[in-house]
Amino acid sequence: MRILVLILQYPPDVNTSGVLMGQLCEGLAARGHQVSVLTTFPHYEKFRVWDEYRGKLLDSDLRNGVEITRTCVYANGRKQNMLNRLLSYLSFNVLATVAGSTSRQDYDVILCSNGSFFSGVAATVIGRVKGAPFVYNVQDLYPETPVQSGQISNKLVIGALERIERFMYARAAQVSVIAPAFRANLLDKGVPADKVTTIPNFVDVDFIRPFPKTNSFSREHALTEKFVVTHAGNLGYVYDFDALLDVAYRVQAEADIQFLIVGDGVERARLQERARALGLRNVRFLPFQPRQTLPLLRAASDVQVALYRRGSARFSMPSKVYEIMASCRPVLASADAGSDLHQLVTGVRCGICVEPHNPEKLAAALLALYRDPALRTRMGQRGRDEAVRAYSRDAIVTQYEELCRHVAVSREWTPGQEIERNPTRTGVMT
């Protein structure tokens, strides 16, 4: 197949969805498919385009069998508020639409992630020009995610985003979602059941695997003699970092417990200031780490957290949880009962999940893990086993390959029409 992938960030950018999409593209290319990517110049870490790309409009390269076209993007290096992010999304999709529509290449199918929100509009236009159907990959629910996190409250803006969202769902040949709750959300919005396919995100279980706690990363950061509690990833609005700092305050008497917050994002400055105000000597902040360091960072941790604000876990399924599981370390989570994250952690028994905004229970759960090494070992091993069984890259690449092939063979499809489907398909892949 000839597959065009639209994605806001792509390696060497370091955000999780971009890294996952990079692995997916390379997996498809390794199976003999011609994969082309339309993305932006790297800019994620500091919301600023890397110096070597500044002043350019387009750039092309070949990376591990994948043809990549990068466009310039609005990324001014300032605060990543919702307005700046929307301008960034819009700039990418406008340029991607032009680049994709004027390309000399033809495509059998387009796969686009909604990480830049407007990507379904760009895929619709490119698909019309190239005669190619598209699969709309939903990594976050819009506008629910920014509304729940308090980033958007204007009713006119919310209504506009809802209309654009419905437009993209209607034009897609298939919509892939990463969790069952996402599928239920789309069905409630009237998207036909046989148009929605559930394919979870994945982890490279050969890259993220059990390593000794004592390693070069733990030695470099003086962590080998500490009980390390880690958040590694984006410091965004959906996470309950205040509860994490409250827990750090509550357990200060345990001198060997060290909290490690690794990453960057809109909440970083505020969290650093609050940690200073609380006098927390047991909390350290580190910048984003090179990807090759990630397995050792996770191995240096005794417990890793995924703490969501109330309601936010209903609209997100963090891929980093699969990485935590693959690293053979227990997960300490906060999520609403019934959310996909809650069901994963409690169902696999790979950690402890408590309700959001409850530092007292969170601290109790952490201390239970701290005092019971055997419990941590059992939970970590169950997580590792499940990651290998159900969330490995090979397993998920196969599901995307099947979905793209199914859409690509329906060449009579045009935007807005239903495609002819195999009656044996259920619309859900597990």
pLDDT tens across 244-284, in order? Answer: 999 999 999 999 999 999 998 889 999 999 999 999 999 99
pLDDT at 426 over 50: no
- Rounded distance between C-alpha atoms, residue 400 and residue 361, angstroms: 39
Average pLDDT (196-216) is: 96
Can you give the pLDDT at residue 411? 56
pLDDT tens across 38-69, in order? Answer: 999 999 888 899 999 999 999 999 999 999 99
Can you give the pLDDT at residue 17? 86
Q: What are phi and psi for residue 319, nearest 5 degrees?
A: -65, -25
Can you give the pLDDT at residue 316? 77
pLDDT at 82 over 80: no
Where is average pLDDT lowest: 9-23, 76-90, 171-185, 353-367?
76-90
Confidence bin at 80 (pLDDT 50/70/90): low
pLDDT tens across 91-101, in order? Answer: 999 999 999 99
Can you give the pLDDT at residue 400? 97
Q: List the domains of the chain with CATH numbers.
A: 2-202+393-408 (3.40.50.2000), 216-390 (3.40.50.2000)
pLDDT tens across 211-229, in order? Answer: 999 999 999 999 999 999 9
Dihedral, 58, 61, 63, 66 alpha carbons, nearest 10: 80
pLDDT at 422 over 60: no
Q: Looking at the DSSP assignment, which residues form a beta bridge with residue 259? A: 229, 283
Can you give the pLDDT at residue 151? 72
- Percent of the chain clearing pLDDT 70 (strictly above): 94
pLDDT at 329 over 80: yes
Average pLDDT (238-247) is: 96
- Rounded distance between C-alpha atoms, residue 202 and residue 277, angstroms: 38
The answer to whether the beta carbons of residues 400 and 24 sit under 8 Å apart is: yes
Helix H or strand E encompassing 362? helix 359-370
pLDDT at 427 over 60: no
> Whole-number mean pLDDT of the chain?
91
CA 146 from centroid of its chain's CA atoms: 15
Confidence bin at 313 (pLDDT 50/70/90): confident
pLDDT at 347 over 60: yes
User: In 3D, which of 33, 31, 37, 30 has the Cα closest to residue 12?
Assistant: 37
Can you give the pLDDT at residue 115? 80
pLDDT tens across 123-176, in order? Answer: 999 999 999 999 999 998 887 877 776 777 788 888 988 999 999 999 999 999
- Rounded distance between C-alpha atoms, residue 362 and residue 306, angstroms: 12
Can you give the pLDDT at residue 101? 96
Can you give the pLDDT at residue 388? 95
* H helices, E strands: number in the chain: 15, 14
The answer to whether the beta carbons of residues 100 and 4 sit under 8 Å apart is: yes
